[in-house]
């Protein structure tokens, strides 16, 4: 890169429109951020060769950039002014680059979260908030964890990592901050075996963290696995024919009304219409709130699942405790002589499991593979 594209120079013109000459072409856009390796993030990007706008944000890696120069004219100043104003506009306007009539889905996102309360902080730069946040997370015993982006897997794009404590959610802007977010502290948190991470379906997240960022996620409580385990307990050992979504788990174990989890349906519809929505910068306040809400209930969901997992154990202990107290005196003498044998109270566990299996076979259809067909009408 030329001297005019040094990190200090770029930091001084954040918010300004610039022209980037890269090895793969020339582009114009508003400078939103600069990484330590001189990688820059632009929004409102235009390909100067084709004259076409590039949707969402665009990263230009330092080693691929040949030159950077400011662009000054009246039309550019208007674009810069609109970019600043968009940060405070409602969702349906901020996400519509040409100010067209907003879609019903975008309106629905704003409506779905307007009555929900969640405290969150966006972490999109290394100054000020980043290190204090990392230190705070390192002192936690349990965290909730989520990810948003495009096709989250080793070949996809991670845009946001959502990390929640009991009372607060931190939204790490991975697209803006780059791999440095992990190297400068977040990797330590995610790999720490003393910190429990609660997430729903850890497979894809673990895949992208490992292959793209060299992060090995450790000590995970997966609520999707927990749901299958609890179903097996409830049915005497059967497995469901499919896994459950976060929405289904929140409804099933926390008794959350459909209105409170409706934002998950709305986000899914929005992602289907525009898979790159999480790449847009700036992201609207309504969508940021959706990201925070996605992980805000996971800690409560884990606790509810743990209570269910311990239900049989608690039942057996109660039976074990009360049996001698309620037994007759002559029965106690027999118990003392047979103390090495498996007590009748514990033998009842097999009976309980058999009854559950018989009950499940009456309530559920069964597939050719021996799985039970689970529906909301037959949920345990």
Which one-letter DSSP state was computed for residue 103?
Answer: P
Token pair of 285 as six digits: 């306040």
**What tens digit of pLDDT does each residue of 267-320 get?**
888 888 888 888 888 888 889 999 999 999 999 999 999 999 999 899 888 888
pLDDT score recorded for residue 340: 72
Which one-letter DSSP state was computed for residue 240?
Answer: B
Cα separations in angstroms, 248 against 161, 185, 238, 265: 22, 33, 19, 11
DSSP code per residue over 275-292: TTGGG-SSPPHHHHHHHH
Residue 33, burial from CB neighbour count under 10 angstroms (0-12, 13-18, 19+): buried
Provide the residue ranges of all domains of the chain, joining segments of one domain with +: 3-86, 91-307, 312-378
Average pLDDT over residues 156-171: 95
CA distance linking residue 324 with residue 8, whole number of Å: 78
Identify the CATH number of the domain defined by range 91-307: 3.30.420.10
Measured in degrees and rounded to the nearest 5, phi and psi for residue 122 equal -85, 125
pLDDT score recorded for residue 330: 60
pLDDT score recorded for residue 254: 95
Indicate the average pLDDT of the chain.
83
Identify the CATH number of the domain defined by range 3-86: 2.30.30.100
| Lowest-pLDDT choice from 138-147, 166-175, 269-278 | 269-278
pLDDT score recorded for residue 338: 56
DSSP code per residue over 22-82: ETTEEEEEEEEEE-TTS-EEEEEEEETTT-PEEPS-EEE-GGGEEEEEE--SHHHHHHHHH
pLDDT score recorded for residue 380: 47
Contacts of 375 (CB under 8 A, 6+ apart): none
Query: pLDDT at residue 88 above 50?
Result: no
CB of 42 closer than 8 Å to CB of 31: yes
């Amino acid at each position: 890169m030329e001297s005019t594209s040094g990190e200090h120079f770029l930091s001084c013109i954040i918010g300004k429109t610039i022209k980037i000459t890269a090895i793969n072409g020339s582009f114009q856009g508003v400078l939103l951020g600069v990484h330590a390796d001189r990688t820059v993030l632009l929004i409102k990007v235009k390909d100067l060769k084709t004259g076409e706008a590039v949707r969402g944000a665009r990263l230009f890696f330092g080693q691929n950039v040949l030159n950077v120069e400011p662009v000054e004219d009246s039309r550019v100043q208007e674009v810069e002014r609109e970019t600043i104003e968009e940060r405070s506009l409602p969702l349906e306007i901020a996400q519509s680059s040409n100010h067209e009539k907003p879609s019903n889905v975008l309106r629905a996102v704003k409506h779905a979260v307007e009555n929900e309360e969640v405290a969150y902080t966006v972490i999109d730069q290394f100054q000020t908030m980043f290190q204090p946040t990392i230190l705070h997370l390192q002192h936690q015993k349990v965290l909730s964890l989520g990810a948003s982006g495009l096709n989250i897997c080793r070949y996809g794009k991670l845009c946001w990592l959502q990390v929640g404590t009991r009372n607060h959610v931190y939204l790490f802007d991975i697209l803006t901050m780059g791999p440095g977010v992990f190297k400068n502290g977040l990797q330590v948190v995610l790999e720490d075996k003393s910190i429990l991470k609660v997430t729903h379906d850890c497979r894809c997240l673990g895949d992208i963290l490992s292959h793209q960022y060299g992060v090995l996620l450790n000590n995970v409580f997966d609520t999707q696995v927990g749901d299958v385990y609890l179903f097996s307990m409830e049915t005497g050992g059967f497995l469901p024919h499919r896994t459950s979504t976060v929405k289904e788990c929140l409804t099933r174990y926390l008794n959350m009304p459909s209105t409170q989890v409706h934002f998950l349906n709305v986000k899914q519809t929005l992602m289907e219409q525009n898979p790159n929505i999480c790449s847009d910068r700036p992201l609207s306040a309504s969508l940021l709130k959706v990201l925070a809400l996605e992980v805000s209930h996971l800690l409560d969901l884990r606790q509810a699942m743990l209570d269910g997992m311990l239900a049989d154990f608690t039942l057996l202990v109660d039976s074990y405790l009360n049996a001698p107290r309620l037994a007759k005196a002559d029965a106690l003498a027999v118990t003392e002589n047979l103390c090495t044998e498996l007590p009748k109270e514990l033998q009842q566990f097999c009976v309980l499991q058999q009854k559950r299996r018989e009950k499940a076979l009456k309530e559920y259809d069964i597939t050719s593979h021996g799985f039970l067909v689970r529906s909301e009408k037959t949920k345990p």
